[in-house]
Structure 1
Amino acid sequence: MDREEQLDEQLTAQLKAFEGRPAATRTTGKDPVNLPMIRHWCEAMGDTNPAYTGPDAVAPPTMLQVWTMAGLSGHQGLSGQGRSPHQGLSRHQVRSAAYDDLLALLDAAGCTSVVATDCEQEYLRPLRPGDEVTFDTVIESVSDRKTTKLGTGHFVTTRTDLRVGPDLVGTHRFRILKYAPARTRKTPPRPRPVVNRDNAGFWEGVRRHELLIQRCTGCEVLRHPWLPGCNACGCPDWDTVRASGEGTVYSYVVMHHPPFPAFDPPYAVALVELAEGVRMLGNVVGVPYDKVRIGLPVRAEFRAYDDELTLPVWRVAG
C-alpha cells in the first residue's frame, strides 16, 4: 500500500466515525400541517386528487420535507444556533457541530465543492391538517472515496425522521457529493437529467425530437411530469400525446448565482404552460434574459449539447 492509499484509508476512517452522529437537533416544524399550504402545493403541482381537499383532507405524501422548512427567519431554540444552514439539511435548519466538523474535514481534504445528488422518502402514515411535526437529522452514512465525472469525493447521506407526538410518520434521506473538482476537463459537460423507469418514455421522445405528454387512459387527464399512475383518478394505465410545442411563459426565474462551469449565467429558466394545459420547465432562448416576461409566447425546440445529450428548450415565438 502506497502513501496515498494510506492517507485515503485514514481519511475514510475519520469520515465514517461521524456516522450515527446528529446533523441537527430535534426541531419543531414552524407551522402545523395546514390546508392553505396543501392547496398551494397542489395548485403548483397541478394535483387535483380529491383526497387533498375537504374536511377529511390529508397532505400529499411528497410534501414531507415542506413541514421541516422554516422560511427566512429559521428555526429557533436549536443547539448550535448561529451556524450556517445548507449542504444536505432542510433550508434554514441549523447544523450541529458534528456536521460542521464533517464538512470541515472534507474541505481540508480538498473536497470543497458540493452538489445534491438525490433524495428518498418513506411514508408511514398520512399527515393531516393540525398535525404538529417534530424532526431531527442524523448523519446516516459517508461513502468511501468515489470518482465521478465532476471529480473525486465522498457521498454524505443524512436522514431526517419526522414525528407527530411519539410516532414516526416519515423519513427523508438527502444525499450530497462533497468533491474535489476534476481538473483535466476544460469544458465540463452539461448535467444529465435523471432518467428512471417512470420518465424514460419522455426522454426517449426527446431524443426523437418529440415532446410527449402522458395521458391517463381512465379519465384522459394529461399530466406532466410523468408519473406511474394518474393523480386525478388513480388509474395506473396511460398512453401518450405528442404536444404541439406551443406555449406561454407561466413563470420564470433568472439565474445569476451560484455559477456552474457548464452554464453561462445569467440565463432565464421558465415554467411554460403548453397549449395542451400541462407545464414544463426549460431554458428560454432567442431573447435576452431580461426580456423574458410572463405571458411571452414560446415554442419548443430541441438542442443537442453533445453527442449524448439533447434537451428541450423554449424559443420565443416569432
Structure 2
Amino acid sequence: MKATASDGARTAAPGDGPDPLEARLKAYEGRPSAVAGRGKDPVNAPMIRHWCEAMGDTNPAYEGPDAIAPPAMLQAWTMGGLSGHTGRTEAYDELLALLDEAGCTSVVATDCEQEYLRPLRPGDEVTFDTVIETVSGRKTTKLGTGYFITTRTDVRVAGDLAGTHRFRVLKYAPARRKAPGKARARRPRPVVNRDNAGFWAGVAEHRLLIQRCTACGTLRHPWLPGCNACGCLDWDTVEASGEGSVYSYVVMHHPPFPAFEPPYAVGLIELAEGVRMVSNVVGVPYGKVRIGLPVRVEFLRYEDDEGALDLPVFRVVEGEG
C-alpha cells in the first residue's frame, strides 16, 4: 500500500548544503531492532475471524478445519500491543531519538511491502527478527524535510521463513505553513495507482465502475489486483446504476481541513449492486442523514489553483430526508 507522504519527495540538492547527519544515520543500517521476537499468541481462528469480518473477506480458505490465515495478516502475528514484545533492541529507538534531536520530530507511515512464502495456520507459533534495512538521504517532501527509514521483519514458523514484511516511515521536520491567502485551498487529490487507475478514469467520464471477477463473477470495491472470493487475477468492469443507500455514516466536526467546511456527513454507501464505498452525503443538512436513506451518485467538480478535480458524491434522493 502506498501513502501520499512520499509523493513528490526529492533528494536534497547540493545547494541545500552538506548533511553531516546522514553518515550517523547510515551507521544504523543493518542493525537489528528485534531479535528472536515471539508472537504473543499462536496463529488462531478467533483473530482470523475478526480480521475477515473487519475486512469483509469471505474467502472460504480462511474457515473450517483446514483454514489458513489471510496472508495480509502477516504483521498482525508480530505486533506487541501496548506492552511491547520480547527481543526488542535499543537501535531503532536510538535512531528515532537522533532524528528528534535534529528537529525531525514528526513521523508518518508511508508504505509497506509483504512477501508470502508459506501459509500460516491456526496453531503455528510465530517468531521474527527485525532489522533496520535502509535509511535514506535527506529528502524534501510536501510534509517537510526528513529521512525515510525502512525496516524488514522476517517471520518464521519452526525456523522456516514464512514471510517478509517491510515497513517504511518518514521521520521529518514539518514544513512551515504559508500564511493563508485569497486563493481557494487545495483539495487533496486521490492516490491513483495501477490497481485503481481504471476507477478514476471512469470517474473522469462520470461513470461509476465496479470491478468484476471474470472467474466467479464477484463484484468488489475498492479495486484490488485479485478476487477476494476465489483469488483469480482476471477481471472486467460493470458500470453501477449509481443508486444506493446509507449503510453507515459519521459527521465530521474536527479536525478542520483548509479545503473542507465542517460539519459534513461522510457515508458508507451500499450500492444497489451490493458493494460499498465511502463518500460525502449531500443534499440534506448533516443532521438529517440517517442509515437507510436512499441516495444517488452525482459527480461534483472542484476547482483550485492546481486545476479541476471530479469526485463522486451521493445526493439524497429528492423527497427523502
Q: Aligned equivalents of 1:33 and 1:292: distance in 2? A: 41
Distance 1:4 1:242, change over 3 A: closer
Distance 1:67 1:288, change over 3 A: farther
Q: Aligned equivalents of 1:211 and 1:76: distance in 2? A: 45
CA positional deviation for 1:67: 1.8
Partner of 1:156: 149
Number of residue pairs matched by the alignment: 299
- Show CA shifts across 1:232-290 (max 9, x none): 23433322111223333334456677776666677654433222111222344556667
Q: Aligned equivalents of 1:262 and 1:175: distance in 2? A: 28
1:247 aligns with 2:244: yes
- Residues 38 and 85 in structure 2, CA contact (< 8 A), matched pair in contact too: no
- Residues 30 and 75 in structure 1, CA contact (< 8 A), matched pair in contact too: no
Partner of 2:75: 65
1:15 aligns with 2:25: yes
Normalising by structure 2, report the TM-score: 0.78
Partner of 2:45: 35
CA positional deviation for 1:224: 1.4
Q: Aligned equivalents of 2:264 and 2:96: distance in 1? A: 30
> SS at 1:116's partner residue?
strand
Partner of 1:110: 103
Q: Aligned equivalents of 1:313 and 1:101: distance in 2? A: 46
- Residues 250 and 267 in structure 2, CA contact (< 8 A), matched pair in contact too: yes
Distance 1:5 1:228, change over 3 A: same
Partner of 1:282: 279
- Show CA shifts across 1:104-160 (max 9, x none): 222232322222211100111001111122223322111111122222221111222
- Residues 27 and 75 in structure 1, CA contact (< 8 A), matched pair in contact too: no
Distance 1:49 1:108, change over 3 A: same
Q: How does 1:1-318 map to 2 (within 5 A)?
A: 5-6=17-18, 8=19, 10-71=20-81, 73-75=82-84, 96-183=89-176, 185-186=178-179, 189-252=186-249, 269-285=266-282, 294-305=291-302, 306=304, 307=307, 309-317=309-317, 318=320
Distance 1:2 1:70, change over 3 A: closer
> SS at 1:249's partner residue?
strand
Identity of aligned residues (%): 76
Distance 1:154 1:239, change over 3 A: same
Instruction: Report the AA paired with residue 118 of structure 2.
Output: R
Larger deviation: 136-145 or 119-128?
A: 136-145
- Show CA shifts across 1:21-45 (max 9, x none): 2334543223221223223333333
CA positional deviation for 1:291: 6.1
> SS at 1:134's partner residue?
strand
Instruction: Report the AA paired with residue 175 of structure 1.
Output: R
Larger deviation: 259-268 or 96-105?
A: 259-268
CA RMSD of superposed structures (Å): 3.2
Instruction: Report the AA paired with residue 312 of structure 1.
Output: P
Larger deviation: 31-40 or 58-67?
A: 31-40
Larger deviation: 154-163 or 254-263?
A: 254-263
Larger deviation: 226-235 or 302-311?
A: 302-311
Q: Aligned equivalents of 1:156 and 1:281: distance in 2? A: 31
- Residues 216 and 230 in structure 1, CA contact (< 8 A), matched pair in contact too: yes
Instruction: Report the AA paired with residue 124 of structure 1.
Output: L
